Amino acid sequence: MEKVTIRAYNNQDFDESHFLSSVPGNPFTAMINPETYALDYKVEFTEGQGHGTSTAHQRFNFKKPEEMSFEFLFDNTGIIDNNPKDDINDDVENFKKLLLEMDSESHEPRHFKVAWGKFLFKGRCTALTINYKLFNADGSPIRAVCKTTFKGSIDEQLRVAQDNAHSPDITHYRVAKSGDTLPWLCYLVYGDSKYCIQVARVNKLTNFRDLRQGQELFFPPINNNKPNA
User: Is 93 domain-assigned?
Assistant: yes
Q: Which residues contact 139 (CB under 8 A, 6 or more apart)?
A: none
Sign of the alpha-carbon dihedral angle for 128, 129, 133, 139: positive
Residue 61 and residue 221: Cα distance in Å, rounded?
17
Sign of the alpha-carbon dihedral angle for 25, 152, 2, 38: positive
Q: Which domain holds residue 177?
A: 170-219
User: Is 47 domain-assigned?
Assistant: yes
Q: What is the CATH number for 189? A: 3.10.350
DSSP designation for 129: E
Indicate whether 144 and 185 sit together in one domain. Answer: no
| Amino acid 229: pLDDT | 37
| Amino acid 157: pLDDT | 41
Least confident of 30-44, 66-80, 85-99, 164-178: 164-178
User: Is 227 domain-assigned?
Assistant: no
Indicate whether 59 and 145 sit together in one domain. Answer: yes
Note the pLDDT tens digit of each residue in 140-185. Answer: 999 999 999 999 876 444 444 444 444 555 557 788 887 788 888 8
Q: Which of 113, 145, 154, 121 has the alpha carbon at shortest distance from 40? A: 121
Number of H helices, E strands in the chain: 4, 11
